[in-house]
Amino acid sequence: MNYDSKNLKTRLDTRFVMVHFTGDNLSTYESIKQSHLDKGEHEIGFHFIITEQGKTLMGRHVSKIGSHYPELDEISIGVCIIGNRNEMSDEQSLALTLLLEYLKTDYPTLEVVKYLYKNH
């Protein structure tokens, strides 16, 4: 399935949360969104982005199929952390913990959280 056909579809099964790290502190919500638009997406592919200050920003609606990890897009929620995992601020760590707890409550079928260290 190509990305265009997934853009408006609702995810029917949610088994994973995929936590991505940009690998740098230079990325912004706007730059990540633009990189997804440049790849032919209609909107940002992540469901949530957590800034360096620990602010959780909404991306693609959480009920929709994302565009962040092709092999698991149809069964996962995508979270993007700006920066590196080993250098997360306390605010980012708290924001991620709270977000994951919220998602586990809303999606009881979640099996696991997967951490990915690739750029957006």
* pLDDT tens digit sequence for 67-91: 999 999 999 999 999 999 889 999 9
Q: What is the pLDDT of residue 115?
A: 83
Q: What pTM, to 2 d.p., does this model score?
A: 0.88
Q: How is the chain split into domains, by residue range?
A: 29-87+108-120
Q: What is the pLDDT of residues 19-64, one digit of tens each?
A: 999 998 889 999 999 999 999 998 999 999 999 999 999 999 999 9
Task: Report CA-CA distances (Å) from 39 to 9, 10, 15, 68, 74.
Answer: 18, 21, 26, 12, 18
> Is 29-87+108-120 assigned to CATH 3.30.1490.20?
no
